[in-house]
Amino acid sequence: MAFIGFPQVTQTDPVGTVTETQYYATADPTAPENGLPHHTEVQVGAIIRATQDNLDDLTTPTTWGTKPVPLLETRRSTTDENNTTRSFRTTYQYDSYGNLSQTTEYGEVQSDYTTDIPGDERTTASIYRSRITPTVYIVDHPVERSIYEGLQAIENQLAARTQFYYDGSATRLAIAGNCSKSGSGRAACGPSPSTSMMRSATRRA
């Protein structure tokens, strides 16, 4: 019988904070979700101070194979010393190669995790370019990452943008996948000089 991992792990730190993490551990030893965490609780004394649930897509076949299992959503909660509980939600989307293409941070939401509390939303969108030849297979190098205020990736809500360059290319097309600077001197692995902070988003989380 194959070992599929422990379904639950509990850790206690020196001051008594208890962290309990639950993992997928199905009867099918070949299930790709085995070993992935899906629920975490942090308990201080008799009170659970923080939780996180990972909602994974366990049913839809992916074009890039069965692993990794796509993480679709995280739901977090925190409880402060006044016993006030706040809830937070983030969702994730992927391109056809399994690259993370969009992260939507709802920020604080109601306890049902479906009703947003407006004012702290942020969306991060990433663009990738692929290069596939008989000798090169590059599909996971980002060429642009944009951060928007709100829940949509629209230009009039752009807060920041970073462009990435590889192999001395001014067109941001990865040939070998090595970070470099283009002929115009724009940095490959950091913001280009044209990156602008148009607004500063206020985050509650």
Facing residues of 132 across strands? Answer: 137
| Whole-number Å distance between alpha carbons of 19 and 21 | 7
* pLDDT value of residue 34: 86
| Whole-number Å distance between alpha carbons of 168 and 30 | 43
Under 8 Å CB-to-CB from 58, ≥6 apart: which residues? 33, 69
* pLDDT value of residue 66: 54
Quote the pTM value: 0.81
* pLDDT value of residue 9: 95
| Whole-number Å distance between alpha carbons of 129 and 140 | 8
Facing residues of 140 across strands? Answer: none
* pLDDT value of residue 129: 83
Task: Kindly report the number of other CB atoms within 10 A of residue 134's CB atom.
Answer: 5
* pLDDT value of residue 178: 64
Contact 167, 174 (CB under 8 A): yes
Contact 164, 142 (CB under 8 A): yes
Tens-of-pLDDT digits for all 205 residues of the chain? Answer: 445 668 999 999 999 999 999 999 888 877 888 889 999 999 999 999 999 999 999 887 666 555 568 899 999 999 999 999 999 999 999 998 889 999 999 999 999 999 999 999 999 999 998 888 888 888 888 888 999 999 999 999 999 998 888 776 666 665 665 665 433 334 445 433 333 333 333 333 4
Domains of the chain by residue range: 83-168+199-203
